[in-house]
Amino acid sequence: FGFRGETTVVAPGINSKMDEMRAAYGLLNLRQVDAAIAARKRVAEKYVAALADVKGIELFPYEINPTFKWNYAYFPILVTDDYRMSRDALYEFMKTQNVLGRRYFYPLITAFEPYKTYPSADEANLSIANRLASQVI
């Protein structure tokens, strides 16, 4: 993908993982998709119940649109300044508990060498993106 570690881009990359073997495996697994989504939904419901009233943690509004069918593959949270630790501290703590999250949108693509000299990469233009990049797990 062009990454070295989580936050260092060493080369342009692409996000293509589907060769013929993985495509065949995917076709076989289609039979289990509904059960997998149902299992992930149960986990997401537990997260919602546990985190709904935690000060400083904001949850994604999963019921945005009644025609939208969520697959529960991801469970992003927003860690605000009201939480008792920073997003990065929480991220590191989660790893010690074997809860494997990811700092989504971090670092912003505009921080990578090939892009950071573009005028559109100026931090003054990206206040919302930078804030979210520092708060989302």
> What residue ranges define each of the domains in the chain, with the CATH number in brackets?
15-133 (3.90.1150.10)
Backbone φ and ψ for 107, nearest 5 degrees, come out as -75, 160
pLDDT of residue 64: 65
- pLDDT category, 116, cuts 50, 70, 90? confident
Residues 43-59, mean pLDDT to the nearest whole number: 94
C-beta neighbour count of 79 within 10 angstroms: 23
Q: What confidence tens digit (pLDDT) does each residue in 53-110 have?
A: 999 999 987 766 778 888 999 999 999 999 999 999 999 999 999 998 999 888 898 9
Residues 31-59, mean pLDDT to the nearest whole number: 95
Is the preceding omega at residue 107 within 30 degrees of 0, hence cis?
yes
The answer to whether residues 137 and 74 touch, using CB atoms and an 8 Å cutoff, is: no
Q: Decide if pLDDT at 38 tops 90.
A: yes
Rounded-to-integer distance, Cα 114 and Cα 26, Å:
34
Please give the single-letter amino acid code of residue 94: M
Query: Rounded to two decimals, what is the model's pTM?
Result: 0.76
